[in-house]
Amino acid sequence: MDKKKSERKVVLVACGTGIATSTVVAERVKKIIDDNGINADVIQCKMSEVTSKESGADLLVTTSILPRSFSIPVVNAMGYLTGIGTENIDKEILKYLKD
């Protein structure tokens, strides 16, 4: 089933416990969404919870290792913690959400 362009997108932000690094990343992703007027929701979760949420989501953003491959695009957001390449991460996330 094709999604309409106007449909609200869902971004999963995951880390090992879904409590620390994903909080920082989720705030940043929410800001990107707001700043660019994108119609999207952010859901913060544990890596182990991604399986049950994956089918309803459009993008996975994570600071964590990937235990397997996913059916949705994945953006590695480790740079938001280290400060390396943060603008490129912003661009990559935007690219997927504007499609």
Which CB sits closer to another protein, 27 or 34?
27
| Residue reference for tokens 């990937």 | 66
Taking the CA atoms of 94, 16, 73 and 66 in sequence, report the sign of the dihedral they define. Answer: positive
What separation, in Å, do the N-terminal and C-terminal C-alpha atoms of the chain show? Answer: 16
Site string for another protein, 38-77 (x = CB under 8 A): ------x--x---------------xxx----------x-
Residue among 18, 58, 60, 75 that touches another protein (CB under 8 A): 18
Residue 15 binding another protein, by CB under 8 A? yes
Residue 85 binding another protein, by CB under 8 A? no
> For 4, which DSSP code?
P
Residue 17 phi, psi (nearest 5): -110, -5
**Rounded Cα–Cα distance for residues 52 and 24 (Å):** 22
Active-site entry in 12, 13, 15, 50: 15
Active site residues: 15
Q: Which residues bind another protein (CB under 8 A)?
A: 15-24, 27, 44, 47, 63-65, 76, 78, 80-83
